[in-house]
A and B are shown apart, each in its own frame.
Chain A
Amino acid sequence: MGAMKLCAFHLMPYPDLPDDFNTKHRSVWVDIDSKLFDPAVVARSYHEYINQLVYADECGFDGICVNEHHSNGYGLMPSPNLIASVLAHRTSQAAIVILGNSVALYDPPVRVAEEMAMLDLLSGGRVVSGFPCGTTMDTAYAYSANPGTLRAKYHEAIELIVKAWTTPEPFSFNGRFTQMRNVNIVPRPLQQPHPPIWIPGGGSVETWDFCADNDYVYAALSYYGHLMARETVDGYWRRLEATGKDDNPYRLAFMQFVGVADTDAEAYRLYKEPAEYFFNRSLHVHSGYTDPPGYVTEASVRARYKSQVRAVARAKQAKHDLNFDEMVEKGYVVIGSPDTVRETLAHIATEMRCGQLLTMLHFGNMRDDVARNNIRLFGDKVAPGLRNIFSDYDNRWWPSNAA
C-alpha cells in the first residue's frame, strides 16, 4: 500500500530583483530586462538551489521537483532537464519529479522522450515525467507558440512521446503537427512501460478529462494556496466521479508554499520577507500576457463564465501588494511550528484528497540557511506525521525505483 508522498519543489527564482521592480518594470515575465540579472548571482543561485534539493533527498523527502519557465525572473530553469540531470547523479533515493516539459514547444517532441529516457536511466528509474501545456507567458509569448493550436499540438506531442517510449519497433508518425518517417528512440526508459506521467494544470475542463481518460496524475500547481485551489480540485474530483474513475488520492498532486520554524512567531519572522518578495515582486506579470485568444478553450471559457472558477480568476487578478498577514490568511503560505504546519497540511491533504503533496520550501529571496532549516524541520518533524494519510490506497503513479 502507499504512503503519502511529500516532495520538495523548487522554482529557482532570481533573488535580487530591485525594490522598485514593480514600478520601473512592466513584467517579470516575457520582456523582463535582461540587465537585471547578474550572471554571478545566477551561477551562485544554481548551486545553492541544487544543493537544497539534494539536501531534501538527504532529509527523507520522497521527491524533488523542478519545472520549466522561459524569460522569467522567478524561474531560472528554461531547461528543467539540465537540473534534473545533476539531481539524478547527486541523489539516490528521491523521485526526480520534472514538471516541465512543455512538449508542444519542441519540434520534434521525441527529443523530450529521449531526454526523459536518459534521465530515467541516470536516476535508476526515479523519474516522474510531467507534461504541462505551459503557461501563456512561456508558450504564446516567450516561445511564440500559436495559442489557437497549442492544445492540439500538446496532445499530439504526448501521444507521440508515449508511443516512442512503448513501441519496440521503429514506426512512422503522421500527425497534424509532426510528421516523422522513423521514430525509434535510443535509449529507452528504465521504468516500463514508461515513467509515470503527471499533468500540471490550472483548472481547465479539458485537462481534467485528459487525466481521467489516460489515467494520469493531475497536478494542481497554483501559487495561491489551498483555499484558492479548492474550486479547481473539487472540479477535478467531480469530473473523475462523472467519468467513473475511482477516488484514489494519488491521482492528485498539489503544490503549497510552506514555512516551518521552531515556533509560530519565529516562522512569521523568517518567512515574511521571502513571501512578500515572491507574491508582490516575482509575480508582477503584465496582464496583456495572460490571455491570448485560443489558449483557453471554448469549453473552459464557458465554465469560467458560468461557475465559481470565474471568481477564482478574479481573485488572482487582485493579488497585488498583499501583506504577509493576508497571504497567510488566504492560504497562499502555510507557516508555523512543526505541529502547526503538520496539522494544517494534514487537514488540507485530507480535505483535498491529495496523496502527492508538493511543498515549496524555498521561495522568493529566501536565504540559503533559512531554506535549509525549513527543509530539515519539515523532513524531521512534519513529514513523519503526514505519511500515514491515505496509506490504504495504492500509489500507481510513483516511480518504481524511488524511495
Chain B
Amino acid sequence: MPHEPAHSRTRVLYLPGIGGHPGLSPAMEQVAAAGYEVVVPDLPGFDGRSGFQPPDDHLGWLTATWDAIDEVLGADTAACHVVGASVGGMLAADLAVFRPELVASLTLIDPFGIFSESNPGFDLYAVVSGQRLRHLFAKGVPEVFTTRFDERGPDEARIARYLTEIAMASMLWPLGDRRLADRIHRIRCPRLTLWGELDEVLPLAVARRWSDDHPVVVSGAGHLAEWDAPDEIAGALLAFIGPVVSA
C-alpha cells in the first residue's frame, strides 16, 4: 500500500554505515538539497576519537546511540524520517522498535542485524585492514573514505581509522546478527528497504528476511549503496518520504 507521506516532517535523521561518517553521502546531500534538514548523531567510535572503548553488548550500543540521537535532536523530539545504512540500519531498526515515538518513517539501506547461515556473505574481518574498504563498494572506494583524518598526520590518521574499525567490528562481531528478526514485527511506521544488488557483505538474499514486501534492489550498487548509487537511493527515498512541507 502506498505510504501517505508525513508532510509535517522536515527533518531526516541519518545513521551512517560501516565506513563511519566521512561526511554526508551524495545521496543524503540530494535529500538535503531537497530541503530536508539532515541530522547525523555523533555515534560512538564513528569519528576516530582517541579513548574510544566499545560498549559491552548490543544494549550498550543502543543506549549510546540513543544518547547521541537525543543530543542531536535537542528539544525538538517530534518524530522524523529515519534513514539507516549498514550498521546504522541496524541501529535505526531498533530505534523504530524501542522508541517508535521518534520515527515517522524508516528507510533501511543494506542493514546489518540479521544473518543468514545459508547466505553468509563476505567476511569483512577475514581480510587485513587495508583490504576491507573495497569490499563495501561496487564502484570503487570514494576518496573521502581514504583521506578522512589525513589532517591529523599519517600516524594519527592511521590510528583514527583503526579506532573507527574497532567501533564497527565490535558492534557486529561475529556475525552482525542481533536477533532483529525476532522483533522487526514491532516496527509500526512505514518502512522502505533498499538493497545494493552487488552487496558482498550482506547478499541480496538476506533482504528477504527484512521485508514482507520485496526490497527495492539498487542495481550496480554494493554494500554502501548510497555512495555507489546516489541518484537511485535519493530518488527512492524522496519518493517514499515525499516533499518537504513547512509547518
Chain A residues at the B interface, C-beta cutoff of 8 Å: 140-141, 144-149, 152, 176-177, 286-294, 298, 301-302, 305-306
Task: Please provide the chain B residues from 52 to 73 with a CB less than 8 Å away from any CB of chain A in the complex.
Answer: 52-54, 56
Asked if B56 contacts A292 (CB within 8 A), the reply is no
17 A-B residue pairs with CB within 8 Å: A144-B173, A145-B173, A146-B169, A148-B170, A149-B170, A176-B56, A177-B56, A288-B125, A292-B169, A293-B162, A294-B54, A298-B162, A298-B163, A301-B159, A302-B155, A305-B155, A305-B159
Asked if B127 contacts A298 (CB within 8 A), the reply is no
Q: Could you say which residues of chain A place their CB within 8 Å of the CB of B126?
A: 141, 286, 288-289
Provide the bound-state CA to CA distance between A289 and B128, in Å: 8
CB distance from B111 to the nearest CB of A (A): 20
Asked if A293 contacts B155 (CB within 8 A), the reply is no
Asked if B51 contacts A148 (CB within 8 A), the reply is no
Q: A144-B173, A146-B170 are in contact. Are A293 and B158 (CB under 8 A)?
A: no
Asked if A147 contacts B173 (CB within 8 A), the reply is yes
CB distance from B113 to the nearest CB of A (A): 16
Let me know if B165 is at the binding interface, CB within 8 A.
yes
CB distance from B195 to the nearest CB of A (A): 25
Q: Could you say which residues of chain A place their CB within 8 Å of the CB of B53?
A: 152
Of the residues B50, B129, B159, B170, contact of A147 by C-beta under 8 Å: B170
Asked if B169 contacts A147 (CB within 8 A), the reply is yes
Provide the bound-state CA to CA distance between A293 and B130, in Å: 12
Q: A149-B170, A305-B155 are in contact. Are A290 and B165 (CB under 8 A)?
A: no
Q: A144-B174, A146-B174, A287-B128 are in contact. Are A294 and B166 (CB under 8 A)?
A: yes
Secondary structure type dominating chain A contacts: helix
Of A286, A293, A294, A298, chain B has the most CB atoms within 10 Å of the CB of: A293
Let me know if B43 is at the binding interface, CB within 8 A.
no
Let me know if B201 is at the binding interface, CB within 8 A.
no
Of the residues B131, B165, B174, B175, contact of A293 by C-beta under 8 Å: B165
Q: Could you say which residues of chain B place their CB within 8 Å of the CB of A290?
A: 128
Let me know if B168 is at the binding interface, CB within 8 A.
yes
CB distance from A27 to the nearest CB of B (A): 10
Chain B residues at the A interface, C-beta cutoff of 8 Å: 50-54, 56, 125-129, 131, 155, 158-159, 162-163, 165-170, 173-175
Asked if A293 contacts B125 (CB within 8 A), the reply is yes
Q: Could you say which residues of chain B place their CB within 8 Å of the CB of A301?
A: 159, 162
**Which 9 A-B pairs have CB atoms at the shortest separation, nearest pair first?**
A148-B170, A148-B54, A293-B165, A144-B174, A293-B169, A146-B173, A294-B166, A288-B126, A288-B127
Of B126, B127, B175, chain A has the most CB atoms within 10 Å of the CB of: B126
Q: Could you say which residues of chain A place their CB within 8 Å of the CB of B162?
A: 293, 298, 301
Provide the bound-state CA to CA distance between A301 and B155, in Å: 10
Q: Could you say which residues of chain B place their CB within 8 Å of the CB of A177?
A: 56
Asked if A148 contacts B174 (CB within 8 A), the reply is no
Provide the bound-state CA to CA distance between A292 and B170, in Å: 10
Q: A147-B173, A289-B126, A293-B125 are in contact. Are A305 and B165 (CB under 8 A)?
A: no
Asked if B163 contacts A292 (CB within 8 A), the reply is no
Q: Could you say which residues of chain B place their CB within 8 Å of the CB of A302?
A: 155, 159
Asked if A292 contacts B159 (CB within 8 A), the reply is no
Provide the bound-state CA to CA distance between A292 and B173, in Å: 10
CB distance from A256 to the nearest CB of B (A): 29
Q: A149-B56, A293-B129 are in contact. Are A305 and B158 (CB under 8 A)?
A: yes
Q: Could you say which residues of chain A place their CB within 8 Å of the CB of B174?
A: 140, 144, 146
Asked if B173 contacts A148 (CB within 8 A), the reply is yes
Provide the bound-state CA to CA distance between A149 and B168, in Å: 13
Provide the bound-state CA to CA distance between A291 and B125, in Å: 8
Provide the bound-state CA to CA distance between A298 and B162, in Å: 8
Provide the bound-state CA to CA distance between A301 and B50, in Å: 12
A-B contact sample (9 more), CB < 8 A, given A148-B54, A148-B170: A147-B166, A147-B169, A147-B170, A149-B170, A152-B56, A293-B170, A294-B54, A294-B169, A301-B162
Of B56, B131, B173, chain A has the most CB atoms within 10 Å of the CB of: B173
Q: Could you say which residues of chain A place their CB within 8 Å of the CB of B128?
A: 287-288, 290-291
Asked if A294 contacts B170 (CB within 8 A), the reply is yes
Asked if B127 contacts A293 (CB within 8 A), the reply is no
Q: Could you say which residues of chain B place their CB within 8 Å of the CB of A292?
A: 125, 169, 173
Q: Could you say which residues of chain A place their CB within 8 Å of the CB of B175?
A: 144
CB-nearest residue of chain A to B54? A148
Q: Could you say which residues of chain A place their CB within 8 Å of the CB of B163?
A: 298
Provide the bound-state CA to CA distance between A7 and B173, in Å: 38
Asked if A298 contacts B50 (CB within 8 A), the reply is yes
CB-nearest residue of chain B to A286? B126
Q: Could you say which residues of chain B place their CB within 8 Å of the CB of A305?
A: 155, 158-159
CB distance from B46 to the nearest CB of A (A): 13
Provide the bound-state CA to CA distance between A293 and B131, in Å: 13
Q: Could you say which residues of chain B place their CB within 8 Å of the CB of A289?
A: 126
